[in-house]
Structure formats: C-alpha cells, structure tokens
C-alpha cells in the first residue's frame, strides 16, 4: 500500500510539473502591398485566428536583400490587439542577404497573436525574396512555477512522507469462513 501511494504521489507530481511547450506553425501567405507575389515585396502582412504565443521562429528560404542600399527591415506582431516591433535589422553592407531563418527564436511579450508584418525601412532598392516556402512557428514557453510554489510542493511531499511514516498499521479482522 505504501509503495502504491508513493508511486501515485510521484506520478501526480510529474503530471503537473512536466508541462510541454506548444507551437503553431503557419505557412507564409501574405497580403502584400506591392504585388500578389510572395517572392518579391517591400512590405507584407498576414493575419490569422488568434494564437497564444510568446516567441516566433521563421523557417524556409525567405531573405531580405538591400540591393546595394543600406536599408533594413522590421518585423511586427499584432499581440492583444496592438502592434509590437519584435525585431529590427538596422541595415548593413550593400548587397547583404539576410535570411529570416537565421534569426533563431525571437521572443516578445506573450499574448494572443493575430498577425505578423515584415516591412523594409527604405522602400527604394530593398526587397524580400524567396518567401514561396517560408513559414513561421508561434511558440508558447512551458510555464515554470514560482519559487513559493516549489516550496509549498516540497513541504506537501514532506508532510505526506511524515504522515505515512508515523501511521500505525491497523489490524484488519477477517471474517472466519468455515
């Protein structure tokens, strides 16, 4: 009985502590202000049903090219109804190619995300290319309990252990069968 109770307590603790992160991957299908093309544009945005997230990761071949200029670009997220700048590339060496997949995971204040926009900061001589197979993943980090929560949990497990150790075994009378 004791080992079953300890096993149940341990399994219950793991079930509540091991909360996996979740993610939603969305194919890039923007509404561009330039053309209907997903492979050559200055500014494009995409809206979608709200996704709870606190970071974004791009994947695919999409890149920013400044075509000899020094312009940069911004990435915006519409979070909880307001637009947040989540990444800024200030510009660089002319003819640089800046792949969005190379950005890694971009964190931002969490909330319900309903849109993403990428925009060049200098509209002459700058463009985004090769977004035909681009996608982005909106991520939610796993929740980490606060230190006070950990302390209460450990005290609770300690109390269970003490109670189990101090409990006296009770004799169970079985009926006699003749």
Strand order in the sheet with 127-129: 40-41, 127-129, 63-65, 97-99
Q: How confident is the model at residue 28 (pLDDT cuts 50, 70, 90)?
A: confident
pLDDT number for residue 20: 43
Tokens at residue 174, please? 């079985």
Q: How confident is the model at residue 85 (pLDDT cuts 50, 70, 90)?
A: very high
pLDDT number for residue 18: 41
Q: How confident is the model at residue 82 (pLDDT cuts 50, 70, 90)?
A: very high
Q: How far is CA 63 from the centre of its chain?
A: 22
Q: Please tell me whether residues 54 and 11 are part of one structural domain.
A: no
- The residues near 62 (Cβ < 8 Å, ≥ 6 apart) are 28, 99, 100, 101, 128, 129, 130, 131, 134
Query: What total of structural domains would you count in the chain?
Result: 2
Q: Which domain holds residue 159?
A: 2-16+145-166
Q: How many residues would you count in the chain? A: 178
Q: Please tell me whether residues 46 and 76 are part of one structural domain.
A: yes
pLDDT number for residue 14: 47
Residue among 126, 124, 121, 123 nearest 95 (CA): 126
Give this prediction's pTM. Answer: 0.64
* Residue found under tokens 């190379």: 102
CATH number of residue 61's parent domain: 2.60.120
Please answer whether residues 102 and 57 qualify as being in contact, where contact means their C-beta atoms are separated by less than 8 angstroms: no
Q: Is the pLDDT of residue 12 over 60?
A: no
Q: Please tell me whether residues 134 and 160 are part of one structural domain.
A: no
Residue among 110, 117, 174 nearest 142 (CA): 110
Q: Is the pLDDT of residue 127 over 50?
A: yes
* Lowest-pLDDT range of 24-38, 41-55, 136-150: 24-38
Q: Please tell me whether residues 162 and 129 are part of one structural domain.
A: no
In a 3-state reduction of DSSP, which class is residue 113?
strand
Q: How confident is the model at residue 139 (pLDDT cuts 50, 70, 90)?
A: confident
Q: Is the pLDDT of residue 160 over 80?
A: yes
Q: Please tell me whether residues 69 and 154 are part of one structural domain.
A: no
Q: Is the pLDDT of residue 52 over 60?
A: yes
172 lies in a domain? no
Q: Please tell me whether residues 9 and 70 are part of one structural domain.
A: no
In a 3-state reduction of DSSP, which class is residue 153?
helix
Please answer whether residues 23 and 59 qualify as being in contact, where contact means their C-beta atoms are separated by less than 8 angstroms: no
Q: Please tell me whether residues 49 and 111 are part of one structural domain.
A: yes
């Amino acid at each position: 009985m004791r080992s079953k109770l300890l096993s149940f307590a341990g399994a219950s603790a793991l079930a509540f502590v091991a909360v996996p992160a979740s993610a939603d991957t969305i194919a890039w299908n923007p509404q561009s202000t330039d053309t209907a093309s997903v492979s050559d544009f200055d500014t494009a945005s995409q809206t979608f049903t709200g996704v709870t997230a606190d970071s974004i990761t791009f994947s695919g071949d999409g890149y920013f090219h400044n075509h000899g200029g020094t312009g940069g670009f911004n990435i915006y997220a519409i979070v909880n109804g307001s637009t947040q700048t989540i990444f800024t590339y200030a510009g660089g060496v002319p003819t640089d190619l800046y792949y969005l997949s190379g950005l890694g995971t971009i964190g931002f204040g969490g909330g319900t995300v309903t849109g993403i926009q990428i925009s060049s900061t200098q509209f002459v001589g700058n463009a985004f290319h090769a977004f035909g197979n681009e996608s982005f993943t909106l991520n939610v980090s796993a929740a980490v309990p606060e230190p006070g929560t950990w302390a209460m949990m450990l005290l609770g497990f300690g109390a269970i252990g003490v109670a189990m150790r101090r409990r006296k075994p009770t004799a169970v009378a079985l009926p006699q069968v003749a």
